Amino acid sequence: MQIIGGIEEQVLVNRLKGGDQTAFELLFRFYYPGLVIFASQIILDKAEAEEIVQDFFVRLWEQRNALKEGTSLKSYVFTSVKNRSLNFLKRSNVNDKLVGEVKDLVENSEVYEPDIFVESELQDQIKLAISKLPSRCGEIFVLSRINGLSNDEIAEKLNISKRTVETQISNALKVLRVEFKDYSGMLIFLGIINF
């Protein structure tokens, strides 16, 4: 059972069906970032992906009473956004054969598994991977990629050379690229890993 903002997802769905805007907002904030990344991976256009996901949530609010009891919301939202993304490709005059190949890829590849697009689950995987780094290397990587400090700021803060900071970040990236080799596009999109 998915917990969102300390509340079971099914409770939020029931509240949503009753017109509770707070429940809708919690669900939107929880699923929106991952759905945009998911759609972007299919159509390769972030702005259009945002439009697709926003349109989906507008439709979800309008048709909230149609949600079936006991349906997995995660499965529903990702399937809906996948279908909308594939329809976007068809409307964009993308070759039918290519759309079919993309559909097969999305349905059969672990890279498109909805769980990894749910922000909290992806964050847990990233935290686990970072925890496997040597302690100093992980600390420097977090300061750089998560906290947004420059190499100079990290060097000054930790009283080490800028070259040491660069080396440690490089070492961390090598490990994380291997750890997330199937998800590198998503991590680049999030600004955590670059090539």
Q: At 43, phi and psi to the nearest 5?
A: -100, -10
Calpha distance 176→193 (Å, rounded): 8
Predicted local confidence at residue 115, as pLDDT: 53
pLDDT, residue 101, reads 60
Q: Which of 76, 26, 37, 30 is nearest to 56 (CA)?
A: 76
Q: pLDDT truncated to tens, each residue of the chain (195 aa)?
A: 567 777 788 888 888 888 888 888 888 888 888 888 888 878 877 888 889 999 999 999 998 888 877 777 888 888 899 889 888 887 776 655 565 665 565 555 554 455 555 555 556 677 778 888 888 988 998 888 777 788 999 999 999 999 999 999 888 888 877 776 655 555 544 455 543
Report all structural domains of the chain as residue ranges with CATH numbers, in order of start. 3-114 (1.10.1740.10), 119-190 (1.10.10.10)
**Amino acid 153: pLDDT:** 92
What is the distance, to the nearest Å, from the Cα of residue 133 to the centroid of all Cα atoms in its chain? Answer: 22
pLDDT of 90 reads: 79
